[in-house]
Amino acid sequence: MELTPSAHLDTFARDGLPPPERWPRLVFELPELTYPDRLNCGAELLDRTVERFGTDRPAFHDGEGRVWSYGDLQDRVDRIAHVLTTDLRVRPGNRVLLRGPTTPWLAACWLAVMKAGAVAVTVLAQQRAPELAVMADAARCTHALCDAHSLDELLAARIPGLRVTPFGGDGP
């Protein structure tokens, strides 16, 4: 099996894959399983849903009773992706650590990382500084998006070179 060219400028994740001859054989015989060599899962998951169902359909209900429509989600995701690629200079293939409780904001950050072409390294909100340091080092994370209420342990990990950006009610 031959690898197709990647859009990732940072090839760390791809370089760590086993050799192609050790991969499972994937069979896509159904026409609906025909995909291009490259696709952006953030765009496919979110933008195609918005195209199909519109912007008003509920996407998330948060813990405080607010509803995020797909339009709200798409707007937030696009803004976060813009901050990642423009302000934070995240490049395709860079690993971005995501930390926080399971909320619409964390989902929006995950989708934004995908749209930016980066690799999400999502960690549990309960992980402590030593565990976070190991995870960030193993994945060679360059950036982190962290819920503002979960910053203490991530900052205590003192991960060299990690650029931490908090998120929460007003976004990153």
Rounded Cα distance, 75 and 88, in Å: 18
In the predicted model, residues of the chain with pLDDT beneath 70 are 1-5, 169-172
* Pairing, β 58-61 against β 143-147: unpaired
C-alpha 108/C-alpha 74 separation (Å) is 8
Residue recorded with tokens 């992980």 = 127
User: Would you list the domain boundaries of the chain?
Assistant: 39-167
Q: What is the pTM of this model?
A: 0.89
C-alpha distances in angstroms, 51 versus 44, 57, 81, 98, 129? Answer: 10, 11, 19, 27, 41
Q: Does domain 39-167 have CATH number 3.40.630.10?
A: no
**Separation of alpha carbons 62 and 76, rounded Å:** 14
pLDDT in tens, 111-152: 999 999 999 999 998 999 999 999 999 999 999 999 999 999
